[in-house]
């Protein structure tokens, strides 16, 4: 971290401000409204965002900063080197505490804990045109009609929708004339969370799993007509790009992660234990759900299909 701080001071003569969220893609995106408000406190400062190296493209997309570093032990930096900094903001929310019931939207929680106020909507993101051009060239020539992206995972087992349900969804969409269905995903070997369950290729979808960089994946989402996915950072990205999104929810609840206006097309399980992640005690993490993850298994293909069709114009085959 000093290799990031000291050069900034030497080059600019100013102490930098550090923002930090060492977590997933969606978590980082949700800090951007608070970070943009906090920047107003330091009008002449140089800003650095600290996050996992794999997400280094995000802060610039959010208009926060193009200076990024990666230091998991950021707390020590904030303590020992505070004199070198003009500001230090380590974002946290109620979701970080497994012993607390979550009651607040994480996006507003990040802001409140730093003494600023933001609206609950996701921030807009800006794509580098070169990334968009590159990913479109990789897709090649596709059929006329909407571009549909699906993201089944990889993710924690408690967030996964059954493989058979994904296959049925793609089959039903194609039967209605929707041909441009692409599957996104990092591939479990490159996924940040150890313990994630591997996700196979969904029959009928064109697999882009493991083939795109994060910046390219986000560029593709920005150009899509619909994204269908589990609770993940890519779902947060779709909402930030104002792309219609159908989220599929079981152990986690969208009411703590998305504004109501952003989640109207989401499909939420109706089992009584839905949203257990936000309660005390958390029963589900790892592979130890006492109810065999029935929240996700109870969501029907018909429910998700109806949500998709509500955001798509019919493509009738001739």
Distances (CA, A) of 53 to 23, 50, 317: 11, 9, 45
Q: Which range is least confidently modeled, 11-25, 82-96, 153-167?
A: 82-96
For residue 2, is pLDDT > 70?
Answer: no
Local confidence band at 318 (pLDDT 50, 70, 90 cut-offs)? very low
Q: What is the pLDDT of residue 194?
A: 47
| Statement to judge: residues 65 and 166 lie in one domain | no
> Where among 84, 112, 140 does a domain terminate?
112
Q: Is 143 left (phi over 0), alpha (psi -120 to 50) or beta?
A: beta
Local confidence band at 140 (pLDDT 50, 70, 90 cut-offs)? confident
Average pLDDT over residues 111-130: 96
Q: Which residue has the higher pLDDT, 195 or 22?
A: 22
Q: Which range is least confidently modeled, 162-166, 181-185, 189-193?
A: 189-193
Phi, psi (degrees; rounded to nearest 5) at 140: 75, -160
| Statement to judge: residues 139 and 52 lie in one domain | no
Relative to beta strand 267-268, strand 245-249 is parallel
Strands across the sheet containing 46-50: 68-69, 46-50, 16-20, 87-90
Q: Which range is least confidently modeled, 30-44, 277-291, 302-316?
A: 277-291
| Statement to judge: residues 59 and 175 lie in one domain | no
Q: What is the pLDDT of residue 103?
A: 87
Distance from chain centroid for Cα 278: 18
Would 8 be classed as within a structural domain?
Answer: yes
> Where among 53, 78, 112 does a domain terminate?
112
Q: Which residue has the higher pLDDT, 197 or 61?
A: 61
Q: What's the token pair of residue 295?
A: 């929240």
Q: What is the pLDDT of residue 78?
A: 60
| Statement to judge: residues 74 and 7 lie in one domain | yes
Question: What CATH number is associated with residue 31?
Answer: 3.40.50
For residue 190, is pLDDT > 70?
Answer: no
| Statement to judge: residues 151 and 271 lie in one domain | yes
| Statement to judge: residues 107 and 135 lie in one domain | no
What's the domain range around 259?
Answer: 131-309
Structure-token match 């969208």, residue found: 254
| Statement to judge: residues 176 and 299 lie in one domain | yes
Question: What CATH number is associated with residue 149?
Answer: 3.40.50.2000
Q: What's the total number of domains in the chain? A: 2
As a whole number of angstroms, the distance between CA 17 and CA 119 comes to: 23
Burial of 292 (0-12, 13-18, 19+ CB in 10 A): exposed
For residue 20, is pLDDT > 60?
Answer: yes
Would 118 be classed as within a structural domain?
Answer: no
For residue 316, is pLDDT > 60?
Answer: no
| Statement to judge: residues 93 and 141 lie in one domain | no
| Statement to judge: residues 230 and 104 lie in one domain | no
| Statement to judge: residues 193 and 245 lie in one domain | yes
| Statement to judge: residues 141 and 280 lie in one domain | yes
Q: What is the pLDDT of residue 317?
A: 46
Average pLDDT over residues 245-265: 96
As a whole number of angstroms, the distance between CA 248 and CA 234 comes to: 13
Average pLDDT over residues 43-70: 95
| pTM of the complete model | 0.92
């Amino acid at each position: 971290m000093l290799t990031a701080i000291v050069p900034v001071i030497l080059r600019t003569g100013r102490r930098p401000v550090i923002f930090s969220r060492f977590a997933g893609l969606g978590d980082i995106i949700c800090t951007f409204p608070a970070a943009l408000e906090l920047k107003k406190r330091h009008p002449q400062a140089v800003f650095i965002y600290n996050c996992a190296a794999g997400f280094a493209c995000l802060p610039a997309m959010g208009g926060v900063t193009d200076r990024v570093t990666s230091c998991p032990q950021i707390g020590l930096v904030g303590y020992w080197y505070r004199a070198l900094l003009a500001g230090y903001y380590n974002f946290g929310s109620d979701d970080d505490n497994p012993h607390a019931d979550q009651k607040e939207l994480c996006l507003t929680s990040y802001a409140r804990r730093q003494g600023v106020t933001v609206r609950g909507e996701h921030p807009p993101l800006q794509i580098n045109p070169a990334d968009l051009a590159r990913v479109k060239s990789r897709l090649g020539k596709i059929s006329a009609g909407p571009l549909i992206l699906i993201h089944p995972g990889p993710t924690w087992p408690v967030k996964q929708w059954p493989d058979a349900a994904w296959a049925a969804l793609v089959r039903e969409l194609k039967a209605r004339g929707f041909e441009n269905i692409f599957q996104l995903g990092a591939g479990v070997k490159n996924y940040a969370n150890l313990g994630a369950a591997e996700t196979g290729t969904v029959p009928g979808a064109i697999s882009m799993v493991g083939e795109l960089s994060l910046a390219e994946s986000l560029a593709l989402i920005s150009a899509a007509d619909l994204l269908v996915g589990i609770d993940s950072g890519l779902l947060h990205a779709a909402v930030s790009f104002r792309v219609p999104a159908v989220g599929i929810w079981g152990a986690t609840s969208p009411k703590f992660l998305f504004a109501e206006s952003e989640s109207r097309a989401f499909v939420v399980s109706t089992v009584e234990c839905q949203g257990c992640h936000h309660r005390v005690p958390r029963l589900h993490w790892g592979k130890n759900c006492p109810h065999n993850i029935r929240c996700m298994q109870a969501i029907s293909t018909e429910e998700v299909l109806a949500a998709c069709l509500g955001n798509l114009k019919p493509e009738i085959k001739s």
